[in-house]
Amino acid sequence: MDSQEDTADLERESATEDSGLNYIGPEDTRVNLEGTETSEYAPLGNAGPDVYRTVPKVNFEQYDGVIAAVNVDNVHWRFVYIHAVSKKIFVLDPQHGSNEKEAATQACKKFGEFFKMRRNRDSIEDWVDTKWQPGTIDHSFQEDGDSCGVFVMQMARQVVENFPKSPESIHIDPSKDWMWNCRRNMAKDILQASVRGRQCVRASPPRLLPEITKYGAYDA
């Protein structure tokens, strides 16, 4: 995030156990923010359904979208966007060369299996009957080998700003100077949130501490 206002928006909602941070977007619509690695998070990993995290305390019907930063083989980040309003799933890769439509098709299949597994394992019905469709969004690409994380965060930013609509395209300046400025601004926002977060922790009941620590939202 590039402004104090954006950081404040994220801080309006507290961390929810097993889900990440909630964002109150336009028209009070809700997007669930989740960060994960393909090696350990069910729908987008290579592991079988038996190791899926069912997140049983999360009611997905309360959300109109989910965004995730997905780590690939510990060397690369991709952006995944579940847009419940249109019943579409998007997989955006900051690097050239990926078949994003095919990746989104596979994501639809895996998320469908994930929600059915939640029903079978935990008797949870939310989103189990949704017929997900693959979607694509035109976007710019990174021009170096180490800015995929910055791209993913900016993709998330533009998606949230357009919510509840899906953006037709996402433009991110891939120049070295802009990437540097973007990293600096994000680091500044994180540090500022860390200071405010510590103040919130001191004033919060003890039951909030595990949630804040778990997601590292306010760690320096």
Q: Which domain holds residue 31?
A: 4-171
pLDDT given for residue 200 in this prediction? 57
**Cα separations in angstroms, 194 against 9, 67, 190, 213, 217:** 14, 22, 6, 12, 8
| Residue 8 is assigned to a structural domain of this protein | yes
Nearest to 65 by CA among 19, 118, 14: 19
| Residue 208 is assigned to a structural domain of this protein | no
CATH number, domain containing residue 8: 3.30.310.130
| Residue 37 is assigned to a structural domain of this protein | yes
| Residue 76 is assigned to a structural domain of this protein | yes
pLDDT given for residue 36 in this prediction? 46
pLDDT given for residue 177 in this prediction? 94
pLDDT given for residue 211 in this prediction? 36
| Residue 186 is assigned to a structural domain of this protein | no
| Residue 145 is assigned to a structural domain of this protein | yes
DSSP H or E stretch at residue 113: helix 100-122
pLDDT given for residue 37 in this prediction? 43
Cα atoms in the 13 Å half-sphere on the side-chain side of 173 = 9
Share above pLDDT 70 across residues of the chain, in percent, rounded to a whole number? 65
Q: Which residues of the chain have pLDDT under 70?
A: 1-52, 196-220
pLDDT given for residue 7 in this prediction? 36
**Cα separations in angstroms, 129 against 132, 147, 170:** 9, 37, 30
pLDDT given for residue 165 in this prediction? 92
pLDDT given for residue 56 in this prediction? 85
pTM for the model stands at 0.69
Per DSSP, helices labelled H in 137-216 are 148-162, 176-203, 209-215
| Residue 219 is assigned to a structural domain of this protein | no
Our count of domains for the chain comes to 1
| Residue 201 is assigned to a structural domain of this protein | no
Buried b (16+ CB within 10 A) or exposed e, 45-77: beeeeeebebbeebebeebbbbbbbbbbeeebb
pLDDT given for residue 32 in this prediction? 58
